[in-house]
Amino acid sequence: MSAELKRKAAEVALTHVRPGMRLGLGTGSTAEAFVRLLGPRVAEGLDIVGVPTSERTAALAASLGIRLATLDELPELDLTIDGADEIGPRLALVKGGGGALLREKIVAAASARMIVIADSAKVVAELGAFPLPIEVVPFGLEATRRAIVARAAALGLEGPVQLRMAGDRPYLTDGGHLILDASFRRIPQPEALALALSGIPGCVEHGLFIGLASLAVVAGPDGVSLLE
């Protein structure tokens, strides 16, 4: 996605921001485009407070002078703006490509509304081409990985479930967890998979966001469209 398309989607999302809002700030390059537009508006006097979904977003927002709070200080938010790796039917999402899915989901769930910003290539008829990120605790990693493979197989899903690496070390999330990327290629029943993954001990959270987004702002070569 070009930087220009990211900015266009972010610009439209910005029109949904009102003075006094408690805003969840997503993670990833598209969410960062939004934060970079929000900064100057705050400098001009727009009074909002942001709850970041990652240390990365927190650092960027703080550098732009955006007032920040934790979710413990503000447990109910008005709106979260975030990107996605895939946007499927009924605005079911795959998220976590940037490794922030746990905080992103907690923040989105604490928000009255979630707006997803993305380019049109992220819109899919069926989820799953993008490997599904699953955040797991380090203890018992291989047992958890096998449980994921088995639960997925029971739903007819197959494919490698691999530990995400950062160079020669496992990738560590802001919460100190690991990420397994599950390449199922297609996820025809996201609700069933979400339920199955949620029941696995050691599985902290998965990147299926179902029933959380209420609007997607999608930028493409022919302009911006809204999906509800």
DSSP string, 49-106: EEEESSHHHHHHHHHTT--B--TTT--SEEEEEE--SEE-GGG-EE--TTS-HHHHHH
How far does Cα 65 stand from its chain's mean position?
23
Residue 144's SS3 state is: helix
Stretch 14-53: interaction string toward ligand 5RP, x if CB under 6 A: ------------xxxxxx----------------------
Please state the closest distance from residue 206 (CB atom) to ligand 5RP, in A. Answer: 12
DSSP string, 197-226: HHTSTTEEEESEE-S--SEEEEEETTEEEE
Closer residue to ligand 5RP, CB minimum distance, 9 or 17: 9
Per DSSP, what are the bridge partners of residue 227? 216
Closer residue to ligand 5RP, CB minimum distance, 25 or 101: 101
Please state the closest distance from residue 84 (CB atom) to ligand 5RP, in A. Answer: 6
Selected binder of ligand 5RP within 50, 88, 97, 190 (CB under 6 A):
97
Residue 41's SS3 state is: helix
Size of the site for ligand 5RP (CB under 6 A): 18
For residue 182, state whether it binds ligand 5RP (rule: CB under 6 A).
no
- Sign, CA torsion 83/31/197/91: negative
For residue 98, state whether it binds ligand 5RP (rule: CB under 6 A).
yes
For residue 84, state whether it binds ligand 5RP (rule: CB under 6 A).
yes
Distance separating alpha carbons of residues 40 and 42, to the nearest angstrom: 5
Closer residue to ligand 5RP, CB minimum distance, 52 or 142: 52
Binding residues for substrate: 27-30, 82-85, 95-98, 122
Q: Return the active site residues.
A: 104
Residues near ligand 5RP (CB under 6 A) are 26-31, 82-85, 95-101, 104
